[in-house]
Structure 1
Amino acid sequence: MSDSWFKFNISCCVGNGNNIGFWQFKWYGNQTFCDLFPDLYAKEAIKNVKVFERLRGNGLVPLWRWNWSESLSVNEAQQLTELQGLFDGFSLPNNNHDLWRLIPDLNGLFTVKSCYTYLLDLQQVELQDAHVLEAVQRLWKSDVPSKVNVFGWRLLLNRLPTRAALHPHDILTNHHELSCVFCFQQAKDEKHLFFSCPFSKGVWNKVLSWLGTSLQIGVEGRDHFLLFGDLFKMKDKDRVWYLVWLTTAWNIWNLRNKVIFKSKIPDVSSLLETIKLRSW
């Protein structure tokens, strides 16, 4: 967990001071002492020193124990006096343990809901058009394993790690590695791999023929997903026919990976049999 997460989302309730850093945590006031007194912090011999190692005593006058890496200047000595003056009348409740409060939650307790709500507040909202939302809503009704559903969700949102998607991030820099693994043509996006590639088209045609139906030419991506389900008028069609769509796309993706990493030779008929088996 990063320091910034601690600083901005967790507050400290100091008890005996055994588990709270003196300089780097907001345990007394709204700022850390390393930010308030950076010159003193620079000369602190032990940067992650705990509160109880620097501040002792239960009475009205705190007892200080400092450890500097070098002598303090006149100005730094004055800063030290100011720091110590902040604690006039303060004493550590030595019988209590240190506590942590999660700021996003009103009760200060960790809950998945509070973290989820906090992350939602931080996220950058990306508006989706109605077709995307409709496709995603239908997707989650499909009776498939969760990993296949997540795969389909990423496919519908164009978030799969295809070669074309990796190239702009300098993960794949060789242009010879950017061609489609099935037809060896330049693949600009996911639509080519799953819908435009002659091999993938052949797979979908075989699947549709197996189901006794057809789909208009040129339909790709989310439209392909939505129209595929609309071809069938039956009870629970969302669970059944989107299952076949997801199974087909999932197996095309798995075959693509096997071609890249295991040098498997793609074959439409063989893939169709795998799709039939896994669908049923």
Structure 2
Amino acid sequence: MASFVFSWSGAEGEAWAWRRLWVWEEEMLEECRTLLFDVSLHVDVTDQWLWLPDPLEGYSVRGAYHVLTSKDLPLVDSTAEMIWHRQVPLKVSVFAWRLLRDRFPTKFNLVNRSVISSEAAVCVSGCGSIESAQHLMLFYSTFASLWPLVCDWIGFMGVDSNVLFDHFVQFVHSTGVSKARKSFLRLIWLPCAWVLWTECNNRLFNNTITPISRLLNKVKYLSLGWLKAKKATFMYGTDRWWSSPF
């Protein structure tokens, strides 16, 4: 069954033109809806580019050079670069980049940007708490229960942090400093976060709830699929990946 997507048409963009969207494109539509969810347009406000290091004077080559070479500015944390994994789809790494910097359209952020009222900030799960990225990933009991299941699946146990960025760092470094081990654990953490976020969107937009056991299976399928897609020599089959991925 096909769904629909829209695009602007007309000289002033005053009309909508619709075309059919096939089932395999529906995930892309959900991503688009998520990206536009916190966009608020105002007829009396003019769009403009803003150069954050110097909002008054704006962008200049000299200013950009200063930003890149100044020793007074902190260097990018190398830990944050771990979200960029060559075997993980780019859209998932971009999602993680926004998630760890709390730049995702959670209801808490939408309230802060005056997109929705404070009364509408309750978590999509209906638990009664404010919906923030940290709450969704670590504190909402159903979603939080995915992490212990994943740890049990890959065969290690640890004490999880209550801070999202620290949770990522601790998870990746939990089995030592081996480059291969850290790469593997990044490949597990990223689909976990991605599955939880897509489940949040499904509950919000499609009014569907997926059992936690099926969310775990999604993590297994995604991580195995990404490995097989980018690494032709990867020999694990489904049965072996399900039983002993580490």
Q: Shorter chain as normaliser: what TM range?
A: 0.5 to 0.7
1:26-41 equivalences in 2 (<5 Å): none
| 2:166 corresponds to | 223
AA partner of residue 129 (structure 2): Q
Instruction: Tell me, in whole angstroms, the C-alpha distance in 2 between the residues paired with 1:247 and 1:118.
Output: 40
Contact 1:225 1:245 in 2 (8 A): yes
Letter in structure 1 aligned against 2:163? E
Superposed displacement of residue 156, structure 1? 1.2
Matched, 1:237 2:175: no
For 1:273, the equivalent position in structure 2 comes to: 217
| Per-residue deviation, 1:185 | 2.4
- The structural deviation recorded for 1:247 is 0.4
Q: Distance in 2 between matches of 1:279 and 1:247?
A: 7
The answer as to whether partners of 2:160 and 2:167 remain within 8 angstroms in 1 is no
Specify the alignment match of 2:140 in structure 1. Answer: 197
- 1:179 paired with 2:179, answer no
> 1:147, 1:237 → 2: CA distance?
23
The DSSP-based 3-state class of the residue aligned with 1:133 is coil
User: Is 1:147 the equivalent of 2:91?
Assistant: yes
Q: Deviations over 1:125-155 (max 9, x none)?
A: 9x9978x713312222453111111111111
Count of residue correspondences: 162
Which SS does the other structure have where 2:203 is aligned?
helix
Question: Cα deviation per residue 1:165-197 (whole Å; 9 max; x = unaligned)?
Answer: 11122211261x311122522225311111111
After TM superposition, the score normalised by the length of structure 1 is 0.51
Is 1:160 aligned with 2:109? no
Question: How far, CA to CA, are the matches of 1:153 and 1:242 in structure 2?
Answer: 13
Q: Distance in 2 between matches of 1:187 and 1:128?
A: 33
Alignment of 1:12-31 (within 5 A): none
Structure 1 spans left out of the alignment, 5+ residues: 1-114
Q: Are the equivalent residues in 2 in contact too, given 1:141–1:238 (CA < 8 A)? A: no
Contact 1:203 1:268 in 2 (8 A): yes
Change (3 A) 1:216 1:121: same
Task: Look up the match of 1:73.
Answer: none
2:216 matches 1:263: no
Task: Determine if the alignment matches structure 1 residue 251 to structure 2 residue 185.
Answer: no
- State whether residues 100 and 165 of structure 2, in contact with CA within 8 Å, keep that contact through their aligned partners in structure 1: yes
Change (3 A) 1:129 1:261: farther
Tell me the SS of whatever aligns to 1:207: helix
Is the 1:142–1:243 contact (alpha carbons within 8 Å) kept by the matching residues of 2? no
How do residues 11-160 of structure 1 correspond to structure 2 at under 5 angstroms? 120=64, 133-141=77-85, 143-160=87-104
The structural deviation recorded for 1:250 is 0.6
Q: Which residue matches 2:154?
A: 211
**Post-superposition CA distance 1:217-249 (Å, at most 9, x none):** 443311110111112344423332111101000
Q: Report the residue type matching 1:212 in the other structure.
A: G
**Residues 165 and 189 of structure 1 are in contact (CA less than 8 Å); yes or no, is this contact kept in structure 2?**
yes
> Quick check: 1:181–1:256 contact (8 Å CA) kept in 2?
yes
- Report which structure shows greater RCO (CA 8 Å, sep ≥6): 2
- Contact 2:110/2:116 (<8 A) preserved: yes
Pair 188,255 (structure 1): closer, same or farther in 2 beyond 3 Å: closer
TM superposition score normalised by structure 2: 0.58
**RMSD across aligned C-alpha pairs, in angstroms?**
2.9
